[in-house]
Structure 1
Amino acid sequence: MEPGARPAGRTAIRSKPVRITLDLSPELYRQLTQWAHSAAIELDVPRVALADAVRAMIRVTTESPDQVIEQLRRDREL
Protein backbone atom coordinates (compact mmCIF):
# COMPACT_ATOMS: atom_id res chain seq x y z
CA MET A 1 0.00 0.00 0.00
CA GLU A 2 1.23 3.51 -0.80
CA PRO A 3 2.21 5.66 2.19
CA GLY A 4 -0.73 7.88 3.11
CA ALA A 5 -3.17 5.85 0.96
CA ARG A 6 -6.60 5.11 2.34
CA PRO A 7 -7.13 1.57 3.65
CA ALA A 8 -8.75 -0.89 1.23
CA GLY A 9 -12.52 -0.59 1.14
CA ARG A 10 -12.52 3.03 2.31
CA THR A 11 -12.82 4.75 -1.05
CA ALA A 12 -15.76 6.96 -1.89
CA ILE A 13 -18.85 5.28 -3.27
CA ARG A 14 -19.68 6.60 -6.71
CA SER A 15 -23.28 7.77 -6.99
CA LYS A 16 -23.34 8.91 -10.61
CA PRO A 17 -23.62 6.35 -13.40
CA VAL A 18 -20.44 5.53 -15.28
CA ARG A 19 -20.55 5.97 -19.07
CA ILE A 20 -18.74 3.56 -21.33
CA THR A 21 -18.21 3.66 -25.08
CA LEU A 22 -18.27 0.48 -27.10
CA ASP A 23 -17.35 0.02 -30.76
CA LEU A 24 -19.11 -2.89 -32.44
CA SER A 25 -18.54 -4.42 -35.83
CA PRO A 26 -21.49 -3.89 -38.19
CA GLU A 27 -22.34 -7.60 -37.89
CA LEU A 28 -22.31 -7.59 -34.08
CA TYR A 29 -24.39 -4.39 -34.04
CA ARG A 30 -26.90 -6.03 -36.39
CA GLN A 31 -27.07 -9.07 -34.10
CA LEU A 32 -27.64 -6.84 -31.06
CA THR A 33 -30.39 -4.81 -32.72
CA GLN A 34 -32.10 -7.97 -33.97
CA TRP A 35 -31.93 -9.44 -30.47
CA ALA A 36 -33.40 -6.26 -28.97
CA HIS A 37 -36.19 -6.33 -31.55
CA SER A 38 -37.04 -9.96 -30.75
CA ALA A 39 -36.87 -9.19 -27.02
CA ALA A 40 -39.39 -6.37 -27.53
CA ILE A 41 -41.74 -8.82 -29.23
CA GLU A 42 -41.26 -11.35 -26.41
CA LEU A 43 -41.88 -8.68 -23.76
CA ASP A 44 -44.81 -7.23 -25.75
CA VAL A 45 -43.37 -3.73 -25.69
CA PRO A 46 -42.76 -1.38 -28.63
CA ARG A 47 -38.99 -1.28 -28.20
CA VAL A 48 -36.09 -2.46 -26.03
CA ALA A 49 -33.35 0.16 -25.83
CA LEU A 50 -29.89 -1.17 -26.62
CA ALA A 51 -28.56 0.29 -23.37
CA ASP A 52 -31.23 -1.61 -21.39
CA ALA A 53 -30.38 -4.80 -23.28
CA VAL A 54 -26.66 -4.44 -22.56
CA ARG A 55 -27.34 -3.69 -18.86
CA ALA A 56 -29.43 -6.87 -18.59
CA MET A 57 -26.72 -8.86 -20.37
CA ILE A 58 -24.11 -7.57 -17.93
CA ARG A 59 -26.28 -8.59 -14.96
CA VAL A 60 -26.77 -12.10 -16.37
CA THR A 61 -23.06 -12.34 -17.16
CA THR A 62 -22.02 -11.46 -13.62
CA GLU A 63 -24.41 -14.08 -12.24
CA SER A 64 -23.23 -16.84 -14.63
CA PRO A 65 -19.83 -15.89 -16.08
CA ASP A 66 -18.66 -19.30 -17.37
CA GLN A 67 -19.93 -19.03 -20.95
CA VAL A 68 -18.62 -15.49 -21.26
CA ILE A 69 -15.18 -16.57 -20.08
CA GLU A 70 -15.19 -19.35 -22.69
CA GLN A 71 -16.22 -16.89 -25.42
CA LEU A 72 -13.41 -14.54 -24.39
CA ARG A 73 -10.96 -17.42 -24.69
CA ARG A 74 -12.24 -18.26 -28.19
CA ASP A 75 -12.15 -14.60 -29.27
CA ARG A 76 -8.54 -14.26 -28.15
CA GLU A 77 -7.57 -17.29 -30.23
CA LEU A 78 -8.84 -15.66 -33.43
Structure 2
Amino acid sequence: MTGPISPRLQKTGLAVAGAVLILAALAELAIHRHGYLSFDGIFAFHAWFGLIAGGVAVVGARAIALALGRPEATEADDD
Protein backbone atom coordinates (compact mmCIF):
# COMPACT_ATOMS: atom_id res chain seq x y z
CA MET A 1 0.00 0.00 0.00
CA THR A 2 1.48 3.29 -1.04
CA GLY A 3 0.42 6.82 -0.29
CA PRO A 4 -1.61 8.26 2.54
CA ILE A 5 -4.61 6.52 4.04
CA SER A 6 -7.91 7.67 2.58
CA PRO A 7 -10.21 9.75 4.82
CA ARG A 8 -12.94 7.11 4.44
CA LEU A 9 -10.62 4.41 5.78
CA GLN A 10 -9.57 6.66 8.66
CA LYS A 11 -13.20 7.27 9.63
CA THR A 12 -13.96 3.56 9.41
CA GLY A 13 -10.98 2.72 11.62
CA LEU A 14 -12.02 5.28 14.21
CA ALA A 15 -15.59 3.98 14.17
CA VAL A 16 -14.40 0.39 14.70
CA ALA A 17 -12.07 1.45 17.53
CA GLY A 18 -14.88 3.41 19.16
CA ALA A 19 -17.29 0.48 18.86
CA VAL A 20 -14.78 -1.88 20.47
CA LEU A 21 -14.21 0.62 23.29
CA ILE A 22 -17.95 0.93 23.92
CA LEU A 23 -18.45 -2.86 23.87
CA ALA A 24 -15.59 -3.35 26.32
CA ALA A 25 -17.06 -0.71 28.63
CA LEU A 26 -20.52 -2.30 28.46
CA ALA A 27 -19.04 -5.72 29.22
CA GLU A 28 -17.75 -4.32 32.51
CA LEU A 29 -21.35 -3.65 33.55
CA ALA A 30 -22.19 -7.36 33.23
CA ILE A 31 -19.29 -8.69 35.31
CA HIS A 32 -17.99 -7.84 38.75
CA ARG A 33 -14.23 -7.38 38.69
CA HIS A 34 -11.94 -7.41 41.69
CA GLY A 35 -8.96 -5.21 40.95
CA TYR A 36 -5.47 -5.91 42.23
CA LEU A 37 -4.62 -2.22 42.50
CA SER A 38 -6.68 0.76 43.59
CA PHE A 39 -6.98 2.29 40.13
CA ASP A 40 -7.90 -0.79 38.11
CA GLY A 41 -11.30 -0.86 39.78
CA ILE A 42 -12.28 2.28 37.86
CA PHE A 43 -15.14 1.72 35.40
CA ALA A 44 -13.84 0.76 31.93
CA PHE A 45 -10.22 0.99 33.08
CA HIS A 46 -9.06 -1.86 30.85
CA ALA A 47 -10.70 -0.36 27.76
CA TRP A 48 -9.22 3.09 28.34
CA PHE A 49 -5.82 1.69 29.26
CA GLY A 50 -5.68 -0.37 26.06
CA LEU A 51 -6.71 2.59 23.92
CA ILE A 52 -4.15 4.90 25.51
CA ALA A 53 -1.39 2.27 25.37
CA GLY A 54 -2.06 1.72 21.67
CA GLY A 55 -1.90 5.45 21.01
CA VAL A 56 1.38 5.74 22.90
CA ALA A 57 2.79 2.84 20.87
CA VAL A 58 1.83 4.53 17.58
CA VAL A 59 3.27 7.89 18.62
CA GLY A 60 6.44 6.23 19.90
CA ALA A 61 6.90 4.26 16.69
CA ARG A 62 6.46 7.44 14.65
CA ALA A 63 9.03 9.27 16.80
CA ILE A 64 11.53 6.43 16.35
CA ALA A 65 10.90 6.40 12.59
CA LEU A 66 11.51 10.15 12.38
CA ALA A 67 14.66 9.91 14.49
CA LEU A 68 16.19 6.93 12.67
CA GLY A 69 14.77 7.35 9.17
CA ARG A 70 16.56 8.69 6.13
CA PRO A 71 15.74 12.17 4.85
CA GLU A 72 13.03 12.26 2.17
CA ALA A 73 15.44 13.82 -0.34
CA THR A 74 17.57 10.67 -0.12
CA GLU A 75 14.57 8.46 -0.86
CA ALA A 76 13.67 10.54 -3.92
CA ASP A 77 17.20 10.07 -5.31
CA ASP A 78 16.84 6.27 -5.23
CA ASP A 79 14.28 6.22 -8.07
The question of a shared fold, defined as TM-score above 0.5 by the shorter chain, is answered with no
User: Larger RCO: Structure 1 or Structure 2 (Cα < 8 Å, ≥ 6 residues apart)?
Assistant: 2
**TM-score, length-scaled by structure 2:** 0.29
Q: Quick check: which has more Rg, 1 or 2?
A: 2
More helix, by proportion = 2
Q: Give TM-score scaled by structure 1 length.
A: 0.30
